[in-house]
Amino acid sequence: GAVVSQHPSRVICKSGTSVKIECRSLDFQATTMFWYRQFPKQSLMLMATSNEGSKATYEQGVEKDKFLINHASLTLSTLTVTSAHPEDSSFYICSAGTSGRTDTQYFGPGTRLTVL
Amino acid sequence: GQSLEQPSEVTAVEGAIVQINCTYQTSGFYGLSWYQQHDGGAPTFLSYNGLDGLEETGRFSSFLSRSDSYGYLLLQELQMKDSASYFCAVRDLDNFNKFYFGSGTKLNVKP
């Protein structure tokens, strides 16, 4: 159980275009999803917390107009990188958190974005 | 805020035991989690300590001491497939929806 999918797994786009990444919880309902960014050989940096039916909460330094997050249902959250630039190239990972003792997050497989 | 420090890289041989430490400075957290991430892949959950002490899950064990602001992941009977990056992480006590990850430790298992 607790499977999270992410699509696409890899995307290459031209500078100035927008890219949408989908994150789905396949076998459970996720009221909260998280979006992370990871540069090579570095740790995961939380970008924003996505709550179903409400606006996302962005971490300090993350531009909400550039990284649009929509959590339209209990199983789907999307991240749109608008007007992408080469410095936006990174590994983007979503996760769905759980409450309770284990305090676990279940991660999607990630999306490798390359902006040319 | 939260700050979690780990050694950047550890090397060990197959069959050995290795300990990956995580020292932290936090304003309060629910518990300490450990995740494994292979190159190009997503992190997967390994272990969680909500209370002080040792938690054992097969070949992996994790330990937490809140008084010492310290935790570790212990991997026994190392296998080549254990070569990966390992991250400690906490969930913020003041903001339930905020997770912080450690700097990560690259484990290299050699034959």
Summarize pLDDT for B41-79 with one digit per residue, the tens. Answer: 889 989 999 899 999 989 999 999 999 989 999 999 999
Q: Are A93 and B42 a contacting pair at CB < 8 A?
A: yes
Beta-bridge mates of residue B75: B18, B60
Partner-chain residue, chosen from A41, A102, A108, that has the shortest CB–CB distance to B48: A102
Amino acid A102: pLDDT = 54
**Mutation choice for A interface testing from B9, B64, B97 by most A CBs within 10 A:** B97
Q: Quick one: three-class SS letters along chain B?
A: CEEEECCCEEEEECCCCEEEEEEEEECCEEEEEEEEECCCCCCEEEEEECCCEEEEECCEEEEEECCCCEEEEEECCCCHHHCEEEEEEEEECCCCCCEEECCCEEEEEEC
pLDDT above 50: residue B21: yes
Mutate to test the interface with A, among B37, B87, B106 (most CBs of A within 10 A): B37
Residue A6 forms beta bridges with which residues? A23
CB contact under 8 A, B99 and A108: no
What is the mean pLDDT of the segment spanning A19-30?
Answer: 90
Per-residue pLDDT band for A101 (boundaries 50, 70, 90) equals: very low
Of A71-80, A106-115, B27-36, which has the strongest mean pLDDT? A106-115
* Tokens, residue B65: 């001491």
Q: Considering only CB atoms, which chain B residues are within 8 Å of A108?
A: 42
Check if the beta carbon of residue B44 is closer than 8 Å to that of residue B34: no
Q: Is A5 an 8 Å CB contact of chain B?
A: no
pLDDT in the model for residue B87: 96
CA-based R_g, chain A, Å = 13
Cα–chain-centroid distance for residue A95? 7
